[in-house]
Amino acid sequence: MILYILIALMFFIGLYGMIAKKNIIKIIIGMNIVGYASNLLFVLLGYKWDGIAPILTEDMSFAYFLEKAVDPLPQALVLTSIVIDLAFVAFLAALAIRLFEKYGTFDIDKIRRLKG
């Protein structure tokens, strides 16, 4: 249970970074933290204490395997999700550089030409 609370805490730290900070780089870091929190939650859902790798060998009974092996599906899904986060962060970092060239600042409050 304590782990879930810690993940919630991590999620809210990231969310604070995204909402309260004005610097684009800090917003990107906040997004990263939020992404890690959701990935950790996903992995934790398939985890078992003292679990073994989900490989069924010949000297292992099926019942023992079912009881002990961790769920491999969330891990596979999280790999996909990490790649998506990578795409987001790489694109945003490139965008931040371009924005700095045009506006000369990372302050999100000063990047405000669009209105209405």
Partner 1 sequence: MNHLITLTMAIYLGGAFLISLLWRENETVAGAAAISFVALSAITSVLLGIEVFTNGSILYFAGGWERPLGIALMLDPLSALFLIMTNVIALLVTIYSAVYMKKYTWTPYFYVLFLIMLAGMNGILISMDIFNIYVFLEVASVASFMLVAFGLRAEELEAAIKYTVMSFIATTMILFAIALIYGFTGTLNIARFMDASAGLTPVHLWFLAGLLLAGFALKAALVPFHSWLPDAHSMAPAPVSAVLSGMFVKVAGLYVIIRVTANIFTNLPQIRILLLLFGALSMVFGGLMAYGQKNIKRLYVYSTISQIGYCAVGLGIGGYLGSLGVLMHFVAQAFSKALLFLNIGAVEYVRGTVESDDLKGLNDTMPVTTLFGSTGMLGIAGVPPMGNFWSKLIIIIAAVKAGYTGIAVLCIVVAVITLGYFLKLQRTVYCNLTESPVKKEAPKTLLVPMGILAFMVFVSGVLLVPGIREHTLDKAVAVMENFSYVDITIGDNR
Q: Which residues bind partner 1 (CB under 8 A)?
A: 18, 24, 27, 31, 34-35, 38, 41-42, 45, 73-74, 77, 80-81, 84, 87-88, 91-92, 95-96, 98-99, 102-103, 111-114, 116
Beta carbon of residue 59, minimum distance to partner 1 (angstroms, whole number)? 25
Counting DSSP H helices and E strands in the chain, the numbers are: 4, 0
| Minimum CB–partner distance for residue 73 and partner 1 (Å) | 8
- Dihedral sign from CA coordinates of 38, 39, 43, 49: negative
CA atoms in the 13 A half-sphere facing the CB of 35: 18
Q: For residues 59 and 62, which CB has a smaller minimum distance to partner 1 in the complex?
A: 62
Closest C-alpha to 28, from 112, 87, 83? 87
Are 108 and 116 spatial neighbours (Cβ–Cβ below 8 Å)? no
- For partner 1, which is the closer residue by CB, 64 or 103? 103
Question: Shortest distance, CB of residue 5 to partner 1, whole angstroms?
Answer: 15
